[in-house]
């Protein structure tokens, strides 16, 4: 949809994004735990994007897209297809600007996700849970509304927005040896690469991925995008594949991709809940899971970890199932 | 044990406490939620004492006691009886200073509580789960070790330490109409009274208590201390009675005591987990539960709420039982 004219966002785009979205997002705090530091033998800094009002870093990219629209386009609003945090964050940003947001969502999506989008004023059009139905339905909705398509990650405005998180992270810490974030479609990792490759090129960027959805890992090793067949992991925010824009950043700037199994992810999630005392999603626990699995790589280092989101079903926590 | 010579801590004691403990505690952040603000029709500020390293505000009073000891007493260490956050926070503070901490705890206390005290280097002496056994055992331990008794709340050093939380709260917000905290023995409420009665006398202080352990509420109405027989509530940090020092502050400076039922406390706890995305104890949810029950009292107001602690058994969350 924008693939044909790939524009690579720049460091200046990220700076402009931060100026644009600063009034609409939170400068999220850093949490630390002496207990976890001792356990790993490293200094860990957790940036709490789960503390954004709609509960995920995706409000950064979504706000950058929404508040960057000219008045004519803004009147027609924005549109996307997503059943996750992008849908609620785009609805939230559109609500803040007072413009329409249309979301195409499979009718099988969890009721709680639909409720959140509607709470923020997003209009949901349901489709069947298939790629063809989603694409047909989305094309129709976009034609009817003229809403600007904001892709969940493969959009330069979105990547520039996500990059603002790493800028704050650098400002809030005194230099990092490593920066880790989970990888699904690669929006946050790409934004992190965009920012750190200019602002802190000495910081090594590590993407963390569930073993059971390791398409980015395999793509990274192969040197080209490989899609997963039917990934299935507790880290349900990380099921989508890389696209051309995010592959550009991953292939050029990521130092390594580490993976962890679902049981390891659940253990790490519980450790964070217990010792950092923050509510976060399974996806956000993947970085700590990979650190616990590869402790020697991080010994004595300053390690930044982005807690990407905090929207989780409290009635179905993975360790109580 | 110090009851015979009751010293009422002063505002200056609180200021000295803050200087003394500042290097050893966290200046905890404030969390807000646009969703909860809209739900209540008020501006809510949550001070996250659950983010203290040992997970509770009690590290303030414990640190003030521990770091205020002269060298001779420090060599003999501190001692207390508690099966809750005070035991772990006192052990933690003693560990930071490198002095002994002896804790008398019923042998029936949860293993997780014992593990936490031991992780911080506290030495546990077990007693039978009765008042007489606890008192006998504690007297013996204190005689043997010479450890300075630090009461969980009825100690001027402890109350002055807890008062440092309200000082930060005032500095971090732009004036509050109300300050709410849960009440058990009354340590945090007393510290809040101590500080706000000088620093922000216009702020009304509300204590929040479980209906099923409402001795402070009944004492407040009666004008003298009434103890509970056998309180039983999900808010297990709030089972202890007021004592002379805390009664002094409660009877002189608290505007009102509001109560909430256990189901209301659990609903409020889940709301906080979901929308603030912080892990906190049932006890810390009592203030929001009372606000939800008395919304008109808080409409349009600026309301500060102290989230007192975050040590909870993740395998036994109240809404999953």
Based on the domain organization, do A66 and A194 belong to the same domain?
no
Of the three residues A114, A149, A184, the one that is the final residue of a domain is A149
Given a contact cutoff of 8 angstroms between Cβ atoms, the answer to whether A245 and A6 are in contact is yes
Backbone φ/ψ region at B48: left (φ over 0), alpha (ψ -120 to 50), beta: beta
**Are A277 and B320 in contact (CB < 8 Å)?**
no
Based on the domain organization, do B259 and B133 belong to the same domain?
no
Could you say which residues of chain A have pLDDT below 70?
Answer: 1-5
- Interface check for A310 against chain B (CB to CB < 8 A): the answer is yes
Q: Tell me which chain B residues have a C-beta less than 8 angstroms from the C-beta of A33.
A: 53
**Are A277 and B51 in contact (CB < 8 Å)?**
yes
Given a contact cutoff of 8 angstroms between Cβ atoms, the answer to whether B305 and B44 are in contact is yes
Based on the domain organization, do B46 and B160 belong to the same domain?
yes
Q: Quickly count: other Cβ atoms within 10 Å of residue B163's Cβ.
A: 33
> Which pLDDT band, with edges at 50, 70 and 90, does B83 fall under?
confident
Q: Are strands A43-48 and A30-31 parallel, antiparallel or unpaired?
A: antiparallel
The pLDDT of residue B5 is 66
**Are A53 and B34 in contact (CB < 8 Å)?**
yes
Question: How do residues B16-42 score in pLDDT, each as one tens digit?
Answer: 999 999 999 999 999 999 999 999 999
Based on the domain organization, do B205 and B248 belong to the same domain?
yes
Widest distance between CA atoms in chain B: 57
> Which pLDDT band, with edges at 50, 70 and 90, does B4 fall under?
low
- The percentage of chain B sitting over the pLDDT mark of 90, rounded to a whole number, equals 90
Based on the domain organization, do B206 and B295 belong to the same domain?
yes
How many structural domains is chain B composed of? 2
* Domain range enclosing A99: 59-149
The pLDDT of residue B231 is 86
**Are A274 and B314 in contact (CB < 8 Å)?**
yes
For A25, nearest residue in chain B (alpha carbons): B34
The pLDDT of residue A229 is 75
Of the three residues B149, B165, B185, the one that is the final residue of a domain is B149
If you ran DSSP here, which 8-state letter would residue A303 be given?
E
Q: What phi and psi, each to the nearest 5 degrees, are found at residue A231?
A: -65, 145
Based on the domain organization, do B206 and B316 belong to the same domain?
yes
- Interface check for A34 against chain B (CB to CB < 8 A): the answer is yes
Q: Which residues contact A46 (CB under 8 A, 6 or more apart)?
A: A30, A31, A32, A272, A276, A278, A305, A306, A307
Q: Tell me which chain B residues have a C-beta less than 8 angstroms from the C-beta of A273.
A: 279, 314
Based on the domain organization, do A116 and A92 belong to the same domain?
yes
Minimal Cβ distance to A278: which of B33, B279, B317: B279
Q: Are strands B43-48 and B30-31 parallel, antiparallel or unpaired?
A: antiparallel
d(CA B285, CA B116): 23
**Are B314 and A29 in contact (CB < 8 Å)?**
no
Q: Tell me which chain A residues have a C-beta less than 8 angstroms from the C-beta of B34.
A: 53
Based on the domain organization, do B36 and B71 belong to the same domain?
no
The pLDDT of residue A83 is 78
pTM of the model: 0.96
Q: Which tokens go with A7?
A: 């524009």
Of the three residues A149, A180, A207, the one that is the final residue of a domain is A149
Given a contact cutoff of 8 angstroms between Cβ atoms, the answer to whether B275 and A310 are in contact is no
Question: How do residues A131-188 score in pLDDT, each as one tens digit?
Answer: 899 999 999 999 999 999 999 999 999 999 999 999 999 999 989 999 999 999 999 9
d(CA B307, CA B182): 9
Query: Region B72-88: what's the mean pLDDT?
Result: 94
Chain A with chain B: Cβ pairs closer than 8 A = 51
Backbone φ/ψ region at A98: left (φ over 0), alpha (ψ -120 to 50), beta: left
d(CA B191, CA A239): 49
Based on the domain organization, do B63 and B52 belong to the same domain?
no
Element housing A157 (H / E): helix A156-172
A90 three-class SS: helix
Which residue reads 């490198």 in tokens?
A: B98
Based on the domain organization, do B266 and B182 belong to the same domain?
yes
> What CATH number is given to the structural domain containing B20?
3.40.50.1100
- SS3 letters across B153-204: CCCHHHHHHHHHHHHHHHHHCCCCCEEEEECCCCHHHHHHHHHHHHHCCCCE
- Interface check for B31 against chain A (CB to CB < 8 A): the answer is yes
Q: Tell me which chain B residues have a C-beta less than 8 angstroms from the C-beta of A279.
A: 273-274, 277-279
Minimal Cβ distance to B314: which of A29, A33, A270: A270
Q: Which tokens go with A287?
A: 């970085």
Which residue reads 């927005």 in tokens?
A: A161
Q: Tell me which chain A residues have a C-beta less than 8 angstroms from the C-beta of B314.
A: 270, 273-274, 317, 319
Based on the domain organization, do A74 and A36 belong to the same domain?
no
For B271, nearest residue in chain A (alpha carbons): A314
Based on the domain organization, do B187 and B121 belong to the same domain?
no
- Whether the per-residue pLDDT at B2 is higher than 80: the answer is no
d(CA A200, CA A222): 27
d(CA B272, CA B180): 15
If you ran DSSP here, which 8-state letter would residue A257 be given?
E
- The percentage of chain B sitting over the pLDDT mark of 70, rounded to a whole number, equals 98
| ipTM confidence | 0.94
- SS3 letters across chain B: CCHHHCCCCCHHHHHHHHHHHCCCCCCCCEECCHHHHHHHCCEEEEEEHHHCCCCECHHHHHHHHHHCCCHHHHHHCEEEECCCHHHHHHHHHHHHHCCCEEEEEECCCCHHHHHHHHHCCCEEEEECCCHHHHHHHHHHHHHHHCCEECCCCCCHHHHHHHHHHHHHHHHHCCCCCEEEEECCCCHHHHHHHHHHHHHCCCCEEEEEEEHHHCHHHHHHHHCCCCCCCCCCCCCCCCCCCCCHHHHHHHHHHCCEEEEECHHHHHHHHHHHHHHCCECCCHHHHHHHHHHHHCHHHHCCCEEEEEECECCCCCCCCHHHC
The pLDDT of residue A1 is 42
């Amino acid at each position: 949809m924008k693939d044909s004219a790939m524009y690579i966002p720049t460091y200046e785009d990220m700076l402009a994004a931060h100026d644009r979205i600063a009034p609409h997002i939170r400068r999220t705090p850093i949490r630390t735990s002496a207990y976890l530091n001792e356990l790993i033998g490293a200094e860990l800094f957790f940036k709490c994007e789960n503390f954004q009002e709609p509960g995920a870093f995706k409000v950064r990219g979504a706000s950058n897209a929404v508040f960057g629209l000219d008045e004519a386009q803004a009147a027609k609003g924005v549109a996307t297809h997503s059943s996750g945090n992008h849908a609620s964050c785009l609805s939230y940003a559109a609500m803040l600007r007072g413009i329409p947001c249309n979301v195409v969502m499979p009718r099988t999506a969890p009721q709680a996700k639909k409720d959140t989008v509607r709470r923020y004023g997003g209009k949901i059009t349901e489709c069947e849970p298939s790629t063809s139905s989603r694409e047909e339905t989305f094309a129709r909705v976009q034609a009817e509304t003229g809403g600007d398509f904001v892709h969940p990650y493969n959009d330069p405005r979105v990547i520039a927005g996500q990059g603002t998180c790493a800028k704050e992270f650098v400002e809030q810490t005194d230099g990092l040896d490593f920066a880790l974030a989970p990888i699904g479609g690669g929006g946050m990792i790409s934004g992190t690469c965009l920012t750190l490759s200019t602002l802190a090129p000495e910081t090594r960027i590590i993407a963390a991925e569930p073993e059971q959805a390791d398409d980015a890992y395999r793509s990274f090793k192969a040197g080209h995008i490989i899609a997963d067949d039917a990934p299935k992991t507790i880290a349900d925010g990380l099921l989508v594949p890389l696209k051309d824009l995010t592959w550009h950043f991953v292939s050029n700037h990521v130092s390594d991709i580490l993976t962890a199994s679902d049981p390891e992810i659940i253990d790490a999630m519980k450790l964070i809940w217990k010792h950092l005392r923050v509510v976060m999603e399974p996806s956000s626990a993947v970085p700590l899971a990979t650190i616990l699995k590869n402790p020697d790589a991080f010994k004595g280092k300053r390690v930044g970890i982005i807690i990407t989101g905090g929207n989780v079903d409290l009635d179905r926590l993975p360790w109580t199932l």
